[in-house]
A and B are shown apart, each in its own frame.
Chain A
């Protein structure tokens, strides 16, 4: 988190030098929208104690299904529904395997990652490099004319406005509603949640599938909005980046969103540097991974923990503990 803010400073300077800060900010915000859906979706799943490691393949499959659905039906909405359904189905398999069969979530998720990656290549053949429908622009009347903010935030489309809404709704749901607190109880202490009459199985099924559906919407937001169309391996590695951002963001919707926007900024910088430093621009998109590792190492240092104990508010802001039961199976009597 601290590292992230430190990294943000030179990025912002670089972007400012690149000119038109309002347009560039708009590009960053739009480019991050698909990742917002995917990371918030995975956050919901992981808060229930389940890891969906298939993310990279799920995103590819749903990007393909989203574009394919829209291409064949002519309707973007059908595309989004197809994408959400495809990815939710993958999540359902993970939920069934871990809840009913108590198989290792990592193993099942990894196999599904490879399977859905190959499946997207196989089934996506007819749509490769075809032109197709995309999400239409929708300026928000009055708000779009606000200086700076208008161009940065309100001259996009429904897919991107939806990503803003999702961040806010996820925060409100996790920390301000009863089902949200129950969800966290299921992920943190499934035994006590069960003792209090919460159905751990039901919650894990529901939130794993819901998270999967959101990941699918992220896939469609790639192929129908940000990276128009479909080709093999179209959005490869974005799923792994999403998994890294969820950890970096400490399972908190605001910080997860910040991670997505930082990554979006990094991509814009890489694009702008492409003509000057071709080598560097290829390597920059790798940065989330070492940043994630360093964040984890720093947070686990005894000194850092002691600092958190001294300043409760700092601790609350920087806390990055994973849900305690993450990745483990729960036997409900």
Chain B
């Protein structure tokens, strides 16, 4: 039975990917591009050389960490749309560390990582407490807190942390070079970021699969009423999920500030929290497929700039393909499930 449903799930997935590829091809064709050439450019633009691969990995790091964060909250049945705000708070805290903590580079980096985690955690816990004790749904609480965080970074960038004599939204001064995350040779991507990303997604995979904490989160996510009957305090586990997820999102913020921008900018979160929601929806809220799917999404985002350069297509075509793909997978899965249900209902009716 479960084998059959898994097979039909895979079938739906294949149909959806094929459908989305065809729609992407049609879209590219309608925009006046040769689809095959465009697909080739997308691939070359993201994996074609070491520097292209490095650019793709630069996107992959925050995306994979944000997605790892979202796996935790989704498993608990929470819609943490506030993830963008938690990334921003992590970046703000990390920037504070980079600007004020004295000492050798590695001390500041470590402080940036820890404070970034704390910043994201506090912001997520605020959304969590609003939900558990204030009766504010986490979707709107989180969204509201995202805009508050956005206002805060804009204020910091053009106010107290503005560059000498310049009040613009282009960002703070660059951090001292010795607190930039160490890079791989002459490439832009940092081995420390990659390591943190792998630890984050690996850790979440392990927690959700092999620990009591993960099991209880899932139980809360599956059915709140029965968890309560089993004596699992839902509120406490929800807050726990928010804390862990917020910490991870804050870590993504640290990498954005200390390994990518090397300063604080208003758009520091880069939309990776929102994009992470797409990745996790596509991954069916499981940790295992997140790393490869995030790599695919990162490649689409980075490769799309080649389409802009070479085919004069707006780079938003990458985002359109990502969105279409996820929408198609969702609709196809829903349609498949619906058809199976109808068939089961018809069979039950026939046997009576």
Contacts and interface: CB of A to CB of B under 8 A. Distances in A.
B50 to A, nearest CB: 28
Given A118-B316, A297-B135, A289 B148 contact: yes
A112 interface: yes
B187 interface: no
A103 interface: yes
Contact of B314 (A117, A122, A297): A122
Q: Chain B interface mostly helix, strand, loop or mixed?
A: helix
A115 B327 contact: yes
Nearest to B334: A101
A111 B147 contact: no
Interface string A292-321: 110011001000000000000000000000
Interface stretch (B138-146, B211-219, B231-239): B138-146
A118 B320 contact: yes
Contact of B151 (A53, A240, A282): A282
B315 to A, nearest CB: 8
A118 B319 contact: yes
B81 A115 contact: no
Interface string A103-125: 10011101110110111011001
Interface in B251-290: 274-275, 277-278, 281
Given A122-B316, A292-B140, A110 B334 contact: no
B274 A240 contact: no
Contact of B167 (A121, A278, A283): A278
Nearest to A53: B139
Chain A interface helix/strand/loop/mixed:
helix
Contacts of A300: 134-136
A247 B314 CA distance: 35
Interface in B291-331: 313-314, 316-320, 322-324, 326-327, 330-331
Interface in A80-116: 93, 97, 100-103, 106-108, 110-112, 114-115
B209 interface: no
A97 B151 CA distance: 34
Interface residues of A, number: 39
B40 interface: no
Nearest to A290: B148
A262 B254 CA distance: 36
A121 B322 CA distance: 14
B154 interface: yes
Contacts of B145: 289, 293
A300 B133 CA distance: 9
Contacts of B335: 101
Interface of A: 53, 93, 97, 100-103, 106-108, 110-112, 114-115, 117-119, 121-122, 125, 232, 237, 240, 243-244, 247, 278-279, 282-283, 286, 289-290, 292-293, 296-297, 300
Given A106-B79, A111-B330, A122-B31, 13 more contacts: A97-B334, A103-B330, A103-B334, A108-B327, A111-B278, A115-B323, A118-B320, A121-B316, A125-B314, A279-B155, A286-B150, A286-B151, A289-B148
13 contacts: A93-B327, A101-B335, A101-B338, A108-B330, A111-B326, A112-B327, A114-B278, A117-B319, A118-B323, A122-B31, A282-B151, A283-B152, A296-B134
